[in-house]
Amino acid sequence: MVAGRLQEKKNYYYIVLSFKDETGKHKTKWISTGLPVKGNKKRAEDLLLDARKNFEIVQEKTEKEETFTSFLKDWLKMVKASIELTTYSSYCMNVNAVICPYFEVKNLSLREIQPRHIQDFYTHCMTDRGVAANTVIHYHAVIRKALKYAVDTEILLSNPADKVQRPKVPKFVGQFYDVDEVNSLFDIVKGARIELPVKMAAFYGLRRSEVVGLKWDAIDFKNRTITIRHTVTTVNIDGKYITVEKDRTKNKSSYRSLPLVTDFYDMLMNLKAQQKENRALCKSSYNKDYLDYICVDEMGNRLKPNFITENFRLTLDNNKLRRIRFHDLRHTCASLLLANGVSMKEIQEWLGHSDFGTTANIYGHLDSKAKLRSADAMLSTGMRITT
């Protein structure tokens, strides 16, 4: 226990604690009890005992949080209640699987962390581990946010991550199928469990979470519309996969209504009848937990997001189709719309992007018709290129 004594000063009791700081230097701390000396010795002694105990707890906590990695893990626990579960899962993966293993070897305290240490970590990730620049930027976001908390709580005076140079991210170029490849894919998945997810992603540009989250009440057969307003995702928390259901989309713009074209009207009507038949055939064996959902198997089990991803990859490999990600079907949708004269603004609304810049940045390089119009406009100015 830290040493301490009572000291009288101007007829009041003061607590004087003696301790060693992190460098081993002896220090003292004076604490006013607010108690007059006369008749308060016992109360002052009790306050002294409490002060010594509390000071030790603070010292232990400070020593524990001095390690940068332990601080990050404590920060994760603190921030969990204030962020989305999907975001928390991403933070945990970055901190526990990558950031902490690197810095634990360095054995740096929180106060020892300098910009060069963080910069060395980014260089190690990209040079030695071959990590993509975009992934390193995710690491940077986590580290910077955690250290900002350290500044906000006055543990640190400034944020070392603010002085670090982030890696430059190469412009994203999504893969996509042309119309012939899409039709070949549609022929192959016909009758398979992933038929509807594949066709919805390619035609409507739905995200995987939006496909799995489709419910029957989102389909207005009378007015022939599909409303995207529910999502289902899977996250990894401490090694356990947890399904997250949300009665809302990724962002406000993602909440959108799309026309139910005839082919999908017929497909969904047939699927609804088939599911009713399956319930009758399977009786008590049919899973009634997901009656509201559209993407279920023959036994009523809702399709899992990872099942769609893996099954899609196997389907492409087994049929010798060019390998793309399931999410690239969304890019395929955008590229086909652009090729057929749909404006970038309309594509933004169709895909549910939060702002026009996102759509333009991803698909602007595909807008060949706009570039041709620009070229024609330049020619019409009368500029003589050849003489």
The pLDDT of residue 348 is 84
Q: Are residues 227 and 356 in the same domain?
A: yes
What is the DSSP track for 173-228?
------HHHHHHHHHHHTTSTTHHHHHHHHHH---HHHHHT-BGGGEETTTTEEEE
Amino acid at 305: P
| Inside any domain, residue 378 | no
| Inside any domain, residue 26 | yes
Residue 194 has pLDDT above 90, yes or no: yes
Which CATH number goes with the domain that contains 364? 1.10.443.10
| Inside any domain, residue 131 | yes
Quick one: average pLDDT of 164-192? 87
The pLDDT of residue 270 is 96
Question: Do residues 203 and 226 lie in contact, with contact meaning Cβ atoms separated by under 8 Å?
Answer: no
Q: Are residues 327 and 201 in the same domain?
A: yes
Q: Are residues 322 and 223 in the same domain?
A: yes
Residue 165 has pLDDT above 50, yes or no: yes
More confident residue, 91 or 371: 91
Q: What is d(CA 288, CA 96) in angstroms, rounded to the nearest whole number?
A: 38
| Inside any domain, residue 377 | no
Given the DSSP bridges, would you call strands 219-220 and 225-228 parallel, antiparallel or unpaired?
Answer: antiparallel
- Band (pLDDT 50/70/90 cuts) for residue 44 is confident
The pLDDT of residue 147 is 95
More confident residue, 114 or 176: 114
Sign of CA dihedral 213, 277, 223, 337: positive
* Average model confidence (pLDDT) across the chain: 85
Q: Are residues 139 and 60 in the same domain?
A: no
Q: Are residues 45 and 73 in the same domain?
A: no
Last-in-domain residue among 17, 40, 65: 65
| Inside any domain, residue 283 | yes
The pLDDT of residue 24 is 67
Q: Are residues 78 and 221 in the same domain?
A: no
Last-in-domain residue among 99, 134, 163: 163
Among 157-171, 191-205, 291-305, 306-320, which is the least confidently predicted range?
157-171
Q: Are residues 134 and 272 in the same domain?
A: no
Q: Are residues 241 and 116 in the same domain?
A: no
Q: 80 by DSSP, 3-state: which?
A: helix
| Inside any domain, residue 246 | yes
Last-in-domain residue among 49, 65, 81: 65
| Inside any domain, residue 384 | no
Q: What is d(CA 271, CA 274) in angstroms, rounded to the nearest whole number?
A: 5
Q: What is d(CA 41, CA 326) in angstroms, rounded to the nearest whole number?
A: 75
Q: Which residues contact 139 (CB under 8 A, 6 or more apart)?
A: 94, 98, 99, 121, 122, 125
Q: Are residues 140 and 155 in the same domain?
A: yes
Tell me the pLDDT tens digit for each residue of 342-357.
Answer: 777 888 888 887 654 5
Question: Do residues 86 and 46 lie in contact, with contact meaning Cβ atoms separated by under 8 Å?
Answer: no
What total of structural domains would you count in the chain?
A: 3
Q: Are residues 195 and 326 in the same domain?
A: yes
Question: Do residues 51 and 4 lie in contact, with contact meaning Cβ atoms separated by under 8 Å?
Answer: yes
Q: Are residues 157 and 188 in the same domain?
A: no
Which CATH number goes with the domain that contains 149? 1.10.150.130
Question: Do residues 115 and 147 lie in contact, with contact meaning Cβ atoms separated by under 8 Å?
Answer: no
The answer to whether the predicted template modeling score (pTM) of the entire model surpasses 0.75 is no
Q: Are residues 221 and 304 in the same domain?
A: yes
Quick one: average pLDDT of 3-22? 82
The pLDDT of residue 378 is 47
Residue 382 has pLDDT above 60, yes or no: no
Residue 58 has pLDDT above 70, yes or no: no
Q: What is d(CA 356, CA 365) in angstroms, rounded to the nearest whole number?
A: 14
Give me the torsion for CA of 298, 304, 310, 312, rounded to 10°: 60
Q: In this structure, what DSSP letter does residue 49 have?
A: H
Per the structure, the complete domain to which residue 312 belongs is given by 179-370
- Band (pLDDT 50/70/90 cuts) for residue 124 is very high
- Band (pLDDT 50/70/90 cuts) for residue 367 is very low
